[in-house]
Amino acid sequence: EYKSKLHIIIPNKVEKFKTKQLASGASEKCKSRRGPGRPRKKPRVRTRGW
């Protein structure tokens, strides 16, 4: 309901926002895999010895 109203008022702004979200989501995935702050390859649960 709310989103459809947004599309009527400012459709191209909504599209821009969506693409921004997708881009940030992709970069977040890359960060969570392995970034400069987390060099380990295995997930944390395994290193604890579960």
Band (13; pLDDT cuts 50, 70, 90): low
Q: Angle at the Cα of 45 (from 24 to 27), degrees rounded to 5?
A: 10
How much is the pTM? 0.24
| pLDDT of amino acid 41 | 59
- At 37 the pLDDT is 59
Dihedral of the alpha carbons of 15, 17, 23, 28, in degrees to the nearest 10 = -150
Rounded CA separation 13/43 (Å): 38
The predicted model gives 26-48 an average pLDDT of 57
Q: How many domains does the chain have?
A: 1
The pLDDT-based confidence of 27 (bands split at 50, 70, 90) is low
Note down the domain range covering 27. Answer: 2-48
